[in-house]
Structure 1
Amino acid sequence: MPDVGDLVTARLEVEPADQTTAATLLVTRPDGTTVSPVVTAAESSGGVWTAPVVYTLAGVWRLSWTVTGTGASVEHQLVSVAPTPGASAGAGVRVYATTTDLANYLQAAPPLDSEQLLGGASRMLDARVLRWCRYDVDTDGRPTHPKVITAIGRAVCAQVAWWDEVGDSRGAAGVGYGNVSIGSVVLGRSVTAVSGEDSPARQIAPQVWDELRDPELHDLLFIGAISAAGG
């Protein structure tokens, strides 16, 4: 699977093909815009055309070849492009800890997908914990006091550590299903299994509360009635 920024050579082989055969390529980006790269016929092999394509956006790209003359046809290819490794979570998303913070918290090398895990933990705590807390923030909604910054960062790391402990970060392990058939194979699982929201991965890690209720945060961070609010 290519990543954003990759330059690839799109290739089309047509059989049969002769001197009347020609090919063009229309590339449709994930945002719906299109580009028509220069197509070159391979001199050493009849019926082969190539074109350079630069993947500038993450998402699904469509490569549409149109062949005229002998071998006339229209062929489409879908290409899934991954974000640049380590890309930010996106505009407006607050991530409260870095991979260095996580390594120091774990006292071990962090997992390779740490950035995604930290982003997910930050969003989870934003939605289910921090929205019910009071503390000083800047114009972007980030904490400003050093002790609060440290505490929230450690809370995010604690959530990631919890996911590592339970072996799941999405709650998928707790989703139940009945009988599922894949060809001739039937998989069964108790339908009484917990739902995704009830799984351990969707629980706030106990250590999160320890970090946010540190005595040093007295008068700096107030936690409201989260349980009463449905957090």
Structure 2
Amino acid sequence: MPDVGDLVTARLTVSPADATTQAALVVTLPDGSILTPVVTGTDNGAVWTAPVVYTMAGVWRLSWTVTGTGASVEHELVSVAPTPGVTTTRSYATTTDLANYLRAAPPVDAAHLLEGASRMLDARVLQYCRYDVTTDGLPSDAAVAAAIGRAVCAQVAWWGEVGDSVGAAGAGYGSVSIGSVSLGGSTSTSTDGAGSAARQIAPQVWDELRSPALHGLLVLGAVAVSW
């Protein structure tokens, strides 16, 4: 699977082919915009190539149109991955923070996990807390920022311990019937993964946010404490 930024050579083989064979390539980007790369033919019209640079993540469509001998239309879908390690949403901790917290090398998807943990704590803990923030909504006090960063790292470490970061282990599907076939669901009554350990707030999160050093700087709300 290519990543954003990769330069590839799109290739089409035509058979049969001769001097009348011509090919054109239209590339449709994930956002719907269109590119028409310069196409080069070799082997008397049997092989056609064009350079393509994948500039954004998503599904690209490469559409070849062949005229003359071997006339045809060919489509190829290419899934392009984001640049590895690039964060796209707010995170309260860096991969360096996580490495220092774990005292070990972080997983290669650490940036993604930290983003997920930050969103989870935002929704389930931090929105019920009181602390001073910057205009970007980030903690303005260095001690509070560091504690929240450690709490996010603690959540990621918890996911590593339970072997699940999305709650898939706790999601059930109930009973399903397809014609004469009946499938029994899992024993969990949850359909959103809430029964999974991955959807629990890690105990160490509370340890970080209840640190005496945060007295007067960060106040935990009653709802957050009861979770």
**TM-score (norm: length of structure 1):** 0.89
More deviation in 94-103 or 55-64? 94-103
Shift of 1:69: 0.9
1:109-146 CA distances to partner (integer Å, 9 max, x unpaired)?
Answer: 11111111111101111111111111010010000111
Q: Which moved more, 1:54-63 or 1:99-108?
A: 99-108
Q: Which residue of 1 aligns with 2:188?
A: 193
Alignment identity in percent? 72
Query: 1:202 — aligned with what?
Result: 199
Structure-2 residue corresponding to 1:27? 27
CA contact (8 A) 1:94 1:142 kept: no
Is the contact between residue 2 and residue 82 of structure 1 (CA under 8 Å) also seen in structure 2?
A: yes
Structure 1 residue matching 2:133: 3-state secondary structure: coil
Q: Distance in 2 between matches of 1:151 and 1:189?
A: 44
Amino acid at match of 2:66: V
- For 1:102 and 1:227, the matched residues in 2 are separated by 23
- CA 1:194 to 1:174, structure 2 compared with 1: closer, same or farther past 3 Å? farther
Q: Is 1:221 paired with 2:218?
A: yes
3-state SS of paired residue (1:207) = helix
Deviation readout 1:151-181 (Å, 9 max, x if unpaired): 100000000010001000011122234689x
Amino acid at match of 1:15: S
CA distance in 2, matches of 1:219, 1:179: 51
Unmatched runs of 5 consecutive residues or more in structure 2: none
**Aligned pair partner of 1:169 in 142, 154, 165:** 165
CA separation in 2, counterparts of 1:128 and 1:80?
33
Contact 1:18 1:46 in 2 (8 A): yes
Question: 2:86 aligns to what?
Answer: 87
Query: Does residue 48 in structure 1 map to residue 47 in structure 2?
Result: yes
Q: Which residue of 1 aligns with 2:99?
A: 103
Question: After the TM superposition, which residues 51-70 of structure 1 pair with which residues of structure 2 at under 5 Å, given as runs?
Answer: 51-70=50-69
Paired residue type of 1:193: S
Aligned length: 222
1:166-209 deviation per Cα after TM superposition (whole angstroms, max 9, x unaligned)? 000011122234689xxxxx9x7752135312211011111111
Q: Are the aligned partners of 2:60 and 2:78 in contact in 1 as well (CA < 8 Å)?
A: yes
Q: Alignment partner of 2:93: what SS?
A: coil
* Structure 2 residue identity aligned to 1:148: V
Structure 1 residues not aligned, in runs of 5+: 181-185
- Residues 176 and 189 of structure 1 are in contact (CA less than 8 Å); yes or no, is this contact kept in structure 2? no
Q: Hey, what's the Cα distance between the residues in 2 that align with 1:224 and 1:179?
A: 39
Q: Distance in 2 between matches of 1:206 and 1:63?
A: 49
Q: 3-state DSSP class of the match of 2:186? A: coil
